[in-house]
Amino acid sequence: MLKRHLGRRRFLLGLGGLGAAALMPKPAEASLSAPVRKLSLHNLHTGEKVSASFWEEGQYLDEGLASFNRVMRDFRSNEVYRIDPKLFDQLFLLQHRLGKQGEIQIISGYRSPATNAMLRRNSSGVAKKSYHMKGQAIDLRMPGVELAHLRQAARKLAVGGVGYYPGSNFVHLDTGPVRSW
């Protein structure tokens, strides 16, 4: 009888431990609970850099978002567009997962329909209804992070689209449905 009681007790304690572990925040969730979210962006085409907080005390900051929108503009047409704040959350989560707080290099942010059409004529890798035209995508790299590792970390977030372009040396992220290519 004592053996069965100890076995049952260990079983129940184990279940309790699993329950407690399930309630623990995952790394991505924990980072979104940070009181301040900050990013450093560098547009490789314009040379512009911005480092700003975009979230504090439970809300997005207009000033930080506006500075990000400007640096992610369509540099060909100089058109600024409102970037989906969820994209910046994704970038923040990605840096947290990688344990990297440095610069994010922008290859492409917002693209006007005219720019997207021009790029599409010159490359088979440009989508007709690109998330870039909706302000929901970025093509990026992070200095000091291997491209394959960046892609792997982005896919593990499971929060949007992840494209891998090793020949062009960038990873694509978007706030669309979870998928990868």
Predicted pLDDT of residue 25? 39
Tokens of 151: 């892609």
Instruction: Tell me, yes or no, whether 19 and 106 share the same domain.
Output: no
Predicted pLDDT of residue 123? 83
Predicted pLDDT of residue 7? 57
Predicted pLDDT of residue 18? 42
Rounded-to-integer distance, Cα 155 and Cα 157, Å? 5
| Cα–Cα distances in angstroms (integers) from residue 8 to residues 18, 20, 22, 97, in the given order | 15, 18, 21, 38
Q: What is the dihedral of CA 136, 49, 157, 93, to 10 degrees?
A: -120
Instruction: Tell me, yes or no, whether 140 and 158 share the same domain.
Output: yes
Instruction: Tell me, yes or no, whether 94 and 134 share the same domain.
Output: yes
Cα 32 vs. chain centroid, distance in angstroms? 12
Q: What is the CATH number of the domain that holds 53?
A: 3.30.1380.10
Predicted pLDDT of residue 47? 98
Predicted pLDDT of residue 175? 98
Instruction: Tell me, yes or no, whether 123 and 49 share the same domain.
Output: yes
Tokens of 165: 């372009």
Instruction: Tell me, yes or no, whether 53 and 3 share the same domain.
Output: no
pTM for the predicted model, two decimal places: 0.81
Number of domains in the chain: 2
Count Cβ neighbours within 10 Å for each residue of 112-148 and write b for 16 or more, e otherwise: beebbeebeeeeeebeeebbbbbbbbbbbbbeebebe
Predicted pLDDT of residue 11? 46
Q: 7 is in which domain, residue-wise?
A: 1-25
Low-confidence ranges of the chain (pLDDT < 50): 2, 6, 11, 15-30
